[in-house]
Amino acid sequence: MDGEPQRPNVCFLIAMIKAMRFLNDPKNKEASIQAMVKHFKVKKNYAEQAYKEVIQDLKPIDDNAAPSVKGMETVIKLEVENKGLDKSYPPQHFIDDSYRLEALKRLGK
């Protein structure tokens, strides 16, 4: 990283990966709930419910911020149905994983 130019997309992904690793770690559950209460100004019971439903049950983003191929397939299907795309494409057509891979390399993991 020394002397290398910082690419904003990579810097963003590094921060996102660190955040997801924090949120997905069960030992940080209470700190995550308290952050929601403080920053989103919600009652603790709503923050606990949101944490359970989103972080524990839905698990929208894994620790390495890998794109969800299943999620992309759903979006593509909806875009075709709504005429946003003229035909279906494989999810990999839309995924440039180079930024994420660079972020993981810089994180050393």
**Mean of the per-residue pLDDT values of the chain:** 91
Share of the chain above pLDDT 70, in %: 94
Band (pLDDT 50/70/90 cuts) for residue 6 is: low
| Spatial distance between the Cα atoms of 77 and 99, rounded to a whole number of angstroms | 25
Residues 27-54, mean pLDDT to the nearest whole number: 97
Per the CB < 8 A criterion, the answer to whether 95 and 72 are in contact is yes
**Strand, coil or helix: 26:** helix
Domain limits of the chain?
8-66+97-107
| Spatial distance between the Cα atoms of 52 and 74, rounded to a whole number of angstroms | 23
Per the CB < 8 A criterion, the answer to whether 65 and 20 are in contact is yes
Other Cβ atoms closer than 10 A to 7: 14
Q: What is the pTM of this model?
A: 0.73
Band (pLDDT 50/70/90 cuts) for residue 7 is: confident
The whole-number pLDDT of residue 60 equals: 83
Per the CB < 8 A criterion, the answer to whether 95 and 68 are in contact is no
